[in-house]
A and B are shown apart, each in its own frame.
Chain A
Amino acid sequence: MEHGFIDRYGNLDSCVHRLDARVKILSAFSFIILAVTTPPKHLLAFVIYAGLLLWTVALSRVPLWHIVSRAAIVIPFSAFVALGLPFLEGKETVNFSGIDLSVPGLWLLAGAVMKASLGVAALVLLVSTTPFNRLLEGLRQLKVPSLFIDLLALTYRYVFILADQAMRLRRAAQARGFRPRWLPQAAVIGRQTGHLFVRSYNRAERIYGAMRLRGYNGSMPAGPSTALSGKNVLVLTLAVATLVFVRLFAK
């Protein structure tokens, strides 16, 4: 497995890593929902959200840079929205290098960027402190249908193999001097993808055969559902209560 960038810090050990997956999933999801519904002008709330997040990152010993660098994924979308900004309605405007920008429009953009960055950071923190299998087990115990969890688990298993295969195809083409520059060259990438598809389909049949031999009959065996320990319940209650408090009262 060459893709160390997938699921990188899930196996570290810290008090955050040791928490039950359900606690982390529910806290992260309520963090994201509350942050997304906060009006952009409540700057204090956003500062506190960021502070809470940084504190958890520090506790979890996940390198901060890992989380910040992932937040860069927000940039293309923000740039796209910024494109429409000069055309938004607004009475107040500020002049920025010759273009009149509406103040409400700028708030809109700032809000979206803050929310998107916090969302990405919370999610990256969640998966960096929870190995994927435990994340799925947590989701199963939170009543996500088993069939969908099985699908996610199997997909995750084969993403590593097929991504490796795709990267080998790409490297082989590069080694032969393939440096695509123009759209028509997508046809070559199409042939690689076709190759990948046929091999994937054949692989799916072999996998199914192997699963059948081992007694697969339509569903994967699931672990027993366990109740949350007192400590975990306490952490979850504290986290959600703090977040709701910040959302309602910090302006």
Chain B
Amino acid sequence: MHIPDGFVSGPINAVAAVASVAALAYSLRKVKREFKDKDFAVPLMAVMAAFVFAAQMLNFPIGGGTSGHFLGAVVVATLLGPWSACIALAVVLVIQGLLFADGGISALGTNILNMGIVGGIVTYPVMRCLRAILPAGRGGYLASVAATSWFSIVLASSVCALELALSGTSPLGIALPAMAGTHALIGIGEALITTAVLSAVAIARPDIIPDWANLKVSEGATSTLQKATRGLTMAGLASAVALALFVSPFASGYPDGLEKVAEDKGFLETASEDKIVWTKSIFPDYKVQSIESEGPSTGMAGLIGTMAVFGFGFSVIRLMARPNIKV
């Protein structure tokens, strides 16, 4: 993902360089100000950057003789915050660029944008949101970190593909699937390594894992967060069911936007009800056929649909929350 000189156009490099300098200046100020022991910031950031550099040397196999390497943005972001992650990655990229010519100097801003800003800062809110919806305890925390680290790799590589396409170097139709596809695999390696690092930290240095990680499940009683989540879920479900049961029967009988366009453009006929799949749907026109009267029938269809969507969503989230991670 380290872009060399000459592959991304001048304007994109210039805009990315300005964005990177601004993000770095802001991050440095933030880190200096918010660190509990503010003088510790410089040596800690430096050693973290050196760690990321060294960890990137430990290649992992992808299969078929190819290998990928760790990026490390999410590890630093989850333990020390997004600003520290941006700084550490930028320092690593500058050192790699200067010492190994890995990533061009004219593309340095673009590389910092992709890996430091996108990989470290942009994905951070995603991680916090995932953490909030997953259950308390180590499993939930590791699952949210694993998903975020996979996402950080895929997102960073997609942005890289977008920059190449905007520069006219490679068409988006080729660059995006090629970059995102290979990095979807590399991302699995990233997720495995990130999870393993945090498991090690949880055992050896639990004190540096931030409070929001919510590692402890209090015995007997459910935690406040869990109670709050459960309350929120129930309130949401109740309001959805109420809407489905009592409001949907009064929903407008007029065609919706798409139906309107279809009517105007004359392709609604081609979708006439005796010809195509719609009729084979369980609830044609959102009615339960065995119930004769109009209002309750629509309400019933709404209720069943709402419960089905909730059941599906809930099981997907539960499956994500309890992955088989060996600690």
Which residues of A are interface residues toward B (Cβ below 8 A)?
6-7, 28-29, 32-33, 35-37, 70-71, 73-74, 77, 80-81, 83-84, 87-88, 108, 111-116, 118-120, 123-124, 126-127, 132, 135, 145, 147-148, 150-159, 161-163, 165-167, 169-170, 180-187, 189-198, 200-204, 207-208, 211-212, 216-218
Contact = CB atoms under 8 A, between A and B. Distances in A.
Interface string B186-205: 00110011111111110011
Contact of A87 (B10, B100, B168, B171): B171
A200 B50 contact: yes
B94 interface: yes
Contacts of B198: 194
A180 B57 contact: no
Given A123-B98, A163-B54, A208-B39, A200 B170 contact: no
B62 A207 contact: no
Contact of A115 (B5, B196, B200, B204): B5
A147 B92 CA distance: 15
A212 B39 CA distance: 9
B133 to A, nearest CB: 25
B38 interface: yes
Main secondary structure of the interface of A (DSSP, over half): helix
B53 A200 contact: no
Contacts of A6: 99
B164 interface: yes
B233 interface: no
Contacts of A203: 47
Interface stretch (B101-109, B124-132, B269-277): B101-109
Given A162-B50, A218-B38, A193 B197 contact: yes
B311 interface: no
Contacts of B81: none
A112 to B, nearest CB: 5
Contacts of A127: 98-99
25 contacts: A7-B99, A32-B106, A36-B106, A77-B7, A108-B169, A113-B6, A114-B6, A116-B5, A116-B7, A124-B101, A127-B99, A151-B46, A161-B50, A167-B57, A187-B326, A190-B192, A194-B201, A197-B197, A197-B201, A198-B200, A200-B54, A201-B208, A202-B205, A208-B40, A218-B42
Given A108-B168, A193-B55, 4 more contacts: A120-B104, A190-B192, A193-B58, A198-B205
